[in-house]
Amino acid sequence: MPFRSCEAKQAHNKAYHQAHVERSTIRHWERAREIKEECLAHYGDGKLVCVHCGFSDIRALSIDHIEGNGSEHRRLNHLKRGAPFYRWLLKRGYPGGYQTLCMNCQYIKRYTNGESGGIRLTSPGRVRW
Ligand SMILES: [Zn+2]
């Protein structure tokens, strides 16, 4: 549909969005979930599971930075946790250095490696899973 002006096009787009906001919102969240599942499966060796313990409830699965520099990585790339990070990984063709872990294993790894200000329980050197 040709528009007489930029303002006419903007008004049309705004009206369309308002008329379809519920459908757009649902589609947005469905796509976000699809991307999360694709990402977790990629870094879970093809399965939606924690690569360390096999836990499979997607609500508690997330991407782990294998080298343990997640906070710094997100800060340098201006990323937020969750959906923006999954999209970032998808757009870059799933780069290496990540794995799917459940939150239990993530916290145990962080604690063991002293990454969260916790006391290191093992000898110096990073514990890799
Ligand atoms: Zn686990």
Q: What is the pLDDT of residues 76-112, one digit of tens each?
A: 878 787 888 999 999 999 999 999 999 999 999 988 8
pTM of the model: 0.72
Instruction: Print burial letters for 85-109: b (CB count within 10 Å at least 16), e (below 16).
Output: bbbbbeeeeeeeebbbbbeebbebb
For residue 47, how far is its CA from the centre of ligand 1 (angstroms)?
13
Enumerate residue ranges in the chain where pLDDT < 50: 118
Cα-to-centroid distance, 60 and ligand 1 (Å): 9
In the reported structure, the alpha carbon of residue 111 is separated from the centroid of ligand 1 by a whole-number distance in angstroms of 14
d(CA 49, CA 54): 5
- What does DSSP assign to residue 47? S
| Span from the CA of 73 to the centroid of ligand 1 (angstroms) | 22
User: Alpha carbon of 38 to those of 12, 63, 103, 110: distances in Å?
Assistant: 34, 12, 18, 25
* Closest among 60, 30, 66, 31 to 48, alpha carbons compared: 60
Residues in a beta bridge with 63: 100
Task: Count Cα neighbours of 8 within 13 Å in the Cβ-side half-sphere.
Answer: 5
Q: List beta partners, residue 99.
A: 64
Residue 80 token pair? 């937020």
Q: What is the pLDDT of residue 118?
A: 47
Tell me how far the alpha carbon of residue 76 lies from the centroid of ligand 1, in angstroms: 27
Say what the pLDDT of residue 125 is.
53
Residue 101 Cα to ligand 1 middle (Å): 5
The confidence score (pLDDT) of residue 77 equals: 79
